[in-house]
C-alpha cells in the first residue's frame, strides 16, 4: 500500500442496522421462525423488487410517507425504493391477476426504506415480515380470525414473553360516530388516540374546546370505557342500542371473529377486544389488530394490521379486498435486545462440531468432517497451524458445543475423541456414536 494512500474511516449511515455474528444468528432464527409459521399456514413466498417506478409506487400520492421515500433519477427513469411491502403487493396482484388463484395467500419478508428522522430505535432500512390474503370481489370474514392464530403461533415459537393481540372493528367506530353525528370529525380520532397518554379529563376538555356536542362525547366515552372479558364486551356493545347499520355490521363481524379465533386455538388470555384502537382508520375498513407485550407496553405494538376493502384501487378497477398483518422485524429485534428479553446467549457460529487436527491428520479430519455433514451435523475444520489450546479457545469463543480431536491414535484405531465443551467430558467413540451424541 502506498504511504500516501488515505485510509477511509469505516462507518455506516445512521438508521441502518448492522449486527455482530452472535446477534445476527439470533435475528436470523427469529426470521426463520416467522417464515416457517407463515408457510405452515399455506402462504406462498413472494419477492418483489426493492426499486419500483415512482409513478407506480407513489400512485396514491401525498401523506407523510411520500416525504420519506428514497427517490432518484437514473437516466430518464424516475425510480423509488419501496417504503413498505403492501404497495408492491397491490401492483403485483393487479399485474398478474390472470395468473393467480384467489384467495391469494402470500408472505413476503424483505427490506424496506424510509428516510425517517434519525432517532434511537427508528430505522431507515428495516425488515418487514408480511402476510396478506387477497380475495377477488369478496373475502370471507373467517379470514380475519385466522390472522390472530398466525400471530399467536409466531410469537409463541419465537419465545416472546406474555403478549396480547388486541382487536377492534372499524365499522363499529364509524357507526358510533355516525349515530352521534360526528362522522368525519378528525378531532374524535385524535382524542381517542391520545386517551391513554393524557387521560380522560384532558381528552374530554379537548373535545369540548373543539365544539363536539356533550351527548356525543359522553356516548363515545361510554363506548371506549367498556371493560370485561371478550364475551362481556360483546354483550355490552349490543346493549348500547346503537341504531346504525355500520355499527350492527361491525358488531356481527366482531362476534364472528372472536368465535373463530377461539376455534383456531388462540387462548382467551392471548387476545382481547380493545375499543380504543384507532390505528389505520384512514386505511382499514373492518377488523384491525395490534399486538402488545404485557410486561413491556413501552415497546408499543410489535405486530399490526387489518382488513381493507380494495387493495389495488390505483392499479385496477377490479375490487380486491384483503386482510393482513406486518411484523417490523428490525425494530422488534432492536427493542427486545434493548429490553434484555432475548437473553445473553453469545453463540457466534452455527457449527455444532469443530474438527481439530492434532499432528499431520488434516486429510482424515477433512474426510470425517464430510461424513459428519452427511449425517446432518453442522461442522467446520480448524485449518490453521496453532497450538491445541488456541484451537480449543476458538471453539469456546464461538460457542461451538463439541470438538472432535483426531491425532495419530485416532487415525490408527478408527475412533474419534469427542469433547463436550460445556462440561469438559471427553470420550473415545466410534463415528456413529459421536454423530448421534452431537445430533442429540
Phi-psi map region of 385: left, alpha, beta (phi>0 left; psi -120 to 50 alpha): beta
The predicted pLDDT at position 281 comes to: 58
Average pLDDT for 57-86: 90
- Distance, CA of 440 to CA of 437 (rounded, Å): 5
The predicted pLDDT at position 61 comes to: 75
Residue with the bigger pLDDT between 122 and 401: it is: 401
| Cα-based distances in Å from 339 to 55, 250, 295, 301, 333 | 41, 37, 11, 15, 10
Chain centroid to CA 260: 23
Q: Report whether pLDDT(305) > 70.
A: yes
- Distance, CA of 227 to CA of 240 (rounded, Å): 13
Beta strand ranges found along 65-193 (DSSP E): 71-74, 77-81, 104-113, 125-134, 163-169
Average pLDDT for 308-312: 91
pLDDT tier for residue 163 given thresholds of 50, 70 and 90? very high
Q: Report whether pLDDT(194) > 80.
A: no
**Closest to 353 measured CA to CA, from 368, 332, 337, 334:** 368
3-state secondary structure of 225: coil
- Distance, CA of 28 to CA of 342 (rounded, Å): 13
pLDDT tier for residue 329 given thresholds of 50, 70 and 90? very high
303 in Cβ contact with 326 (< 8 Å): yes
> What is the rounded average pLDDT for all residues in the chain?
93
Which range has the worst mean pLDDT, 110-124, 182-196, 285-299, 336-350?
182-196
Average pLDDT for 17-36: 96
The predicted pLDDT at position 278 comes to: 76
In percent, the amount of the chain with pLDDT more than 90 equals: 77
The predicted pLDDT at position 9 comes to: 95
pTM: 0.92
- Total number of residues shown for the chain: 440
Q: Report whether pLDDT(95) > 80.
A: yes
Q: Report whether pLDDT(1) > 60.
A: no
The predicted pLDDT at position 62 comes to: 67
Amino acid at each position: 500500500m502506498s504511504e500516501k494512500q488515505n485510509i477511509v474511516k469505516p462507518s455506516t449511515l445512521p438508521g441502518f442496522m448492522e449486527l455482530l455474528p452472535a446477534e445476527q444468528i439470533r435475528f436470523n432464527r427469529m426470521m426463520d421462525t416467522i417464515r416457517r409459521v407463515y408457510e405452515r399456514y399455506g402462504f406462498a413466498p413472494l419477492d418483489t423488487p426493492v426499486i419500483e417506478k415512482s409513478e407506480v409506487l407513489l400512485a396514491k400520492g401525498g401523506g407523510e410517507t411520500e416525504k420519506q421515500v428514497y427517490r432518484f433519477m437514473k437516466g430518464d427513469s424516475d425510480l423509488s425504493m419501496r417504503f413498505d411491502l403492501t404497495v408492491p403487493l397491490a401492483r403485483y396482484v393487479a399485474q398478474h391477476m390472470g395468473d393467480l388463484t384467489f384467495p391469494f395467500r402470500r408472505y413476503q419478508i424483505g427490506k424496506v426504506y424510509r428516510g425517517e428522522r434519525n432517532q434511537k430505535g427508528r430505522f431507515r432500512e428495516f425488515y418487514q415480515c408480511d402476510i396478506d390474503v387477497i380475495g377477488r370481489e369478496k373475502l370471507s370474514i373467517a379470514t380475519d380470525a385466522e390472522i390472530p392464530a398466525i400471530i399467536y403461533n409466531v410469537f409463541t415459537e419465537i419465545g416472546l414473553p406474555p403478549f396480547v393481540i388486541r382487536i377492534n372493528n372499524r365499522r363499529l367506530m364509524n357507526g358510533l360516530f355516525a349515530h352521534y353525528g360526528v362522522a368525519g370529525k378528525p378531532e374524535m380520532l385524535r382524542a381517542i388516540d391520545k386517551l391513554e397518554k393524557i387521560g380522560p379529563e384532558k381528552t374530554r376538555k379537548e373535545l369540548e374546546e373543539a365544539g363536539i356536542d356533550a351527548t356525543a362525547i359522553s356516548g363515545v366515552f361510554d363506548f371506549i370505557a367498556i371493560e370485561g372479558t371478550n364475551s362481556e364486551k360483546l354483550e355490552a356493545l349490543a346493549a348500547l342500542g346503537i341504531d346504525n347499520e355500520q355499527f350492527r355490521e361491525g358488531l356481527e363481524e366482531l362476534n364472528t371473529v372472536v368465535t373463530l379465533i377461539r376455534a383456531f386455538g388462540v387462548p382467551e388470555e392471548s387476545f382481547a377486544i380493545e375499543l380504543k384502537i384507532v390505528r389505520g382508520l384512514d386505511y382499514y375498513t373492518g377488523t384491525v389488530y395490534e399486538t402488545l407485550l404485557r410486561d413491556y407496553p413501552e415497546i408499543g405494538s410489535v405486530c399490526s394490521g387489518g382488513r381493507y376493502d380494495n387493495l389495488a384501487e390505483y392499479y385496477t378497477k377490479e375490487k380486491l379486498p384483503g386482510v393482513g398483518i406486518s411484523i417490523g422485524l428490525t425494530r422488534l429485534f432492536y427493542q427486545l435486545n434493548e429490553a434484555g428479553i432475548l437473553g445473553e446467549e453469545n453463540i457466534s457460529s452455527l457449527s455444532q462440531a469443530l474438527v481439530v487436527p492434532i499432528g499431520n491428520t488434516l486429510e482424515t479430519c477433512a474426510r470425517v468432517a464430510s461424513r459428519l455433514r452427511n449425517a446432518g451435523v453442522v461442522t467446520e475444520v480448524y485449518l490453521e497451524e496453532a497450538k491445541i489450546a488456541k484451537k480449543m479457545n476458538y471453539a469456546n469463543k464461538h460457542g461451538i458445543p463439541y470438538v472432535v480431536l483426531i491425532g495419530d491414535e485416532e487415525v490408527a484405531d478408527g475412533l474419534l475423541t469427542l469433547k463436550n465443551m460445556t462440561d469438559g467430558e471427553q470420550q473415545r467413540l466410534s463415528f456413529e456414536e459421536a454423530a448421534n451424541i452431537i445430533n442429540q
